[in-house]
Structure 1
């Protein structure tokens, strides 16, 4: 008898606590797997509840709803082995678990051993890590007996023997640690390792995943299936999918990442004899490894017949691993899911003609292009069915006109250059464009305060005040447009501004979502130049961006003869990014930053370097309160400044006064 088994991994676009959506996606993935003659299917981590449930994991209802859905899935798993993730309470502790189902029967629940507690992950807040080598029995109330078939199941560190085929688990973070469970599974003769994951997107992360999938399959001589979530699940984290299937160190399949689908199943065929031969030929010592409780099943996993080998096509993945591609695709997908899951009827952007707002408009342009490419125009509109006015649109430009509303909001200090840049970009992508003159409101506020104070306001005495009020008077009108449309107002602030507080609260920070607050200004400028000429996949470029790219970034809030620029107000953006990386990501002191900058910039005087560092640390410390008030932003890399998920800092502090005095 052949030892060929067709396997699959599914990526799912889930939503926390959205039971109907989550169940439907799982069910359709299972049905698709069956149609493709798959015998073993791996689903992502916590796929029944959603991964980002936060403190709702504490609620007993969350577990109970997941168990009900698990029971409802059982009849649909005939002739199939499938893993399903859900949270479970055991002996008054909560665990991140995976149920293995074989032919409509739950064989047991494996509990995650290594919890993700760094970066944006807070699993130790809710879950307890399971100990190596330990197992027991979980017993449910009688209420669940009719739902699950019985009320008692094996639980813990389990290895499943499904009539001679041994299946084990590494649940997401389990595979990222040095003492990964695969080592002990290998010692116990595992054939296939399933890795249900909820691995958020970050730049260059695909290469890390590939290494542990390939190395795990090679070192342990196994078939390895990695499944991941897809899309913007709960607001900040974007999941890129990217199912990978490998056998004995060879990548058999990899799925397209950043897709707009609700689900997708990727398949491959394992030759278990090849994997077992690798283990026979291995002379690695098996001593000192944890044992696993073996759960036996009499289900005969269906075998398959040899199929024509189709080489893995990784050319698309190579191109999308370029940072510019990853950024565009990740944020575009994040915007689409945020819009539809919040039932927003499009977006409103205060389009100044500068880099930040232009980047957001470009990303929405990509969102529409990518969505139509994946789903077709009818499928794109179907996923936005609540947005009924899209029904008659038959082109991407027509969609953009309804989805994206932009407003250029000049004062007396604005110029024709930025107006032309804003209007040209809006026209190029097909967005609705308004020119809303806010100068009367600006003058009205100034006059009102002058009358109250009994004096005139002037640029020599009231510079920041006069700048800020211009930024703030722009917010009410764009909020009005958002309310009129039932749309989501997008904040246009970037990470460089967040680091030093170079943003006006209730001005350019206004909005329900801040899509570029996780990326620095220096990179945004280079990305816009790339989008002007290249575009994603060498298509979808926007030549009209040249009007944006030709400018020096400026807030345009001082009189025109002042020739205001952002870098004159702050420092060169590349220097700002460098200090931010040293001081915040790498936790260097002002003195250490000075040493690095002196080495990297010998052309700059010590006085200049000290001035840059002093300005950065003082502004950073002074403006934590602003970062606390930013609208939710997308996580993109390890330089994130979001205090709610990544980078915490006291609102009140000593401001590095002593350290700066040592420069």
Structure 2
């Protein structure tokens, strides 16, 4: 029996549906492993098709293409180490989330995921059949157990593998990011190594896919939960893990330890990577946004520059008579600080034309929210015209607080293809802006030093759609609003819970009312990166027509 085993793990970024491109990445990783003398090269869960494919595997032609791609990849990897890679797989009349073990030019074994997650963003019960709990597979004279992602969150699969002769556990994952999730993963995996007494290699993919961002951060644990290696978060990487058998059994040799980012950096990196990959995977190279002089658009512009580079970002100021001099100055100052292109497009003439057109119909009626929203919708029209003309994707800039209570104009400032701050509450927007002003990382393509002028961060937020307007005219102050929303949205709590936390019943009921009546807006809103375990879209699914209210 071998006394040393080299495993190459590839924390890479697949694209859903790019079967040839994903297979090419896997082949390159395999070649690196071969050059390094690896016995086995491993890729993450569902790597051939990309993750999360949602309903795509239900399309028979898609899954057959994935299987054919996997077979061809296996044939190309005949002369060298074994290859382990995730792929949807049809067996008889059933469809599985499979992990394929390729040796000698063919697929030698197929492992099928047993525990199918059906919570938060996961809906695998809808797509896949549950596979049996199997035993380990052989690579040379070494027996390897591979619980697939969710299978490692439960005791039964790992314990069965240990009882049937597995010498270490290799766990392939497609585990999407949410804030501080790394600690949760680590705790579950420590439990598995304590249960089994086996070393464990946790391999996660990286990259953005629609609203989900995969943060990598793969790691290696020895028995008793000792960390032997930590890979970087939010970055592609290939690493070699040496397992050595001594008197106490198999142990992983100590490897590199990449520092893990704090909570603010995690969120910011997720927003940058999410936007960068959304553009790359949908074919956009440039973006634009409405630059209001407020904090939300300043943060979105900064994220865009860090994701795509200053030359690929257009900031557009579209002032009305209600736009303050401070906003004009601040918008231009921020665009200049991040190095983005800046356009100045007043909306006065267009607004006057619309007002004249509607005057016969509106005669005798007082001005109200209608006239305010015309400004926002006119801005949306102009921004979409620029988007069409220059082939630049329009970004929206509504934070989670606004998205929650509908403090946005549908077909106006909600118009656009992607919203980088959709899952970021307003109070956290302030924190992230301060963090970015004092931090710079190699993965940012924007400038160092302060990029968001201090006055943008410190002035009272305002939509500037009427004279002397403040957000607090329509909403509770943001610390109160966000506190209530975290109870009602993030915790699925009640009005009673809000009152127990110190908020007034009046404020809690107002926020609850706005939350429910805004569902139709969220249904039509742009996607954005998931930062929390309770993001809008797949995490939280509520009916649009809903008359129930909490009377607690």
TM-score for the superposition, normalised by structure 1 = 0.79
Deviation at 1:587, TM superposition (A): 2.4
Q: 1:449 aligns with which of 358, 375, 378?
A: 358
* Matching of residues 109-508 of structure 1 within 5 Å: 109-132=110-133, 157-177=134-154, 179-233=155-209, 235-248=210-223, 249-259=225-235, 261=236, 264-273=237-246, 276=249, 312-314=256-258, 316-317=259-260, 320=261, 322-368=262-308, 399-401=309-311, 403-455=312-364, 457-458=366-367, 462=368, 464-508=369-413
1-structure distance, mates of 2:461, 2:295: 7
Secondary structure class of the residue paired with 1:211: helix
Secondary structure class of the residue paired with 1:16: coil
Residue number in structure 2 paired with 1:510: 415
2-structure distance, mates of 1:423, 1:180: 59
Deviation at 1:210, TM superposition (A): 2.3
- Cα gap change, 1:35/1:213 in structure 2, threshold over 3 Å: closer, same or farther? farther
* Matching of residues 635-650 of structure 1 within 5 Å: 635-642=530-537, 645-650=538-543
Residue number in structure 2 paired with 1:152: none
Deviation at 1:575, TM superposition (A): 1.3
Q: 1:550 aligns with which of 448, 451, 458?
A: 458
Q: Is the 8 A contact 1:42 1:225 kept in 2?
A: no
Residue number in structure 2 paired with 1:286: none
TM-score for the superposition, normalised by structure 2 = 0.94
2-structure distance, mates of 1:77, 1:275: 34
Deviation at 1:45, TM superposition (A): 0.5
- Cα gap change, 1:274/1:506 in structure 2, threshold over 3 Å: closer, same or farther? farther
2-structure distance, mates of 1:513, 1:467: 24
Q: Which structure would you say has the larger Rg?
A: 1
Q: 1:530 aligns with which of 435, 447, 454?
A: 435
2-structure distance, mates of 1:490, 1:313: 36
Q: Deviations over 1:122-153 (max 9, x none)?
A: 11110011233xxxxxxxxxxxxxxxxxxxxx
Structure 1 residue 570 and structure 2 residue 547: aligned? Answer: no
Q: Is the 8 A contact 1:223 1:275 kept in 2?
A: no
Deviation at 1:528, TM superposition (A): 0.9
Deviation at 1:614, TM superposition (A): 1.7
Q: Is the 8 A contact 2:394 2:418 kept in 1?
A: yes
Q: Is the 8 A contact 2:168 2:250 kept in 1?
A: no
Residue number in structure 1 paired with 2:40: 40
Deviation at 1:277, TM superposition (A): 6.8
2-structure distance, mates of 1:635, 1:455: 46
Q: Is the 8 A contact 1:11 1:43 kept in 2?
A: yes
Q: Is the 8 A contact 1:420 1:547 kept in 2?
A: no
Q: 2:547 aligns with which of 654, 659, 663?
A: 654
Question: Can you give the 5+ residue segments of structure 2 that lack an aligned partner in the other structure?
Answer: none
Q: Is the 8 A contact 1:42 1:195 kept in 2?
A: no
2-structure distance, mates of 1:518, 1:491: 12
Secondary structure class of the residue paired with 1:181: helix
Residue number in structure 2 paired with 1:136: none
2-structure distance, mates of 1:655, 1:63: 42
Deviation at 1:187, TM superposition (A): 1.8
1-structure distance, mates of 2:301, 2:173: 32
1-structure distance, mates of 2:110, 2:239: 24
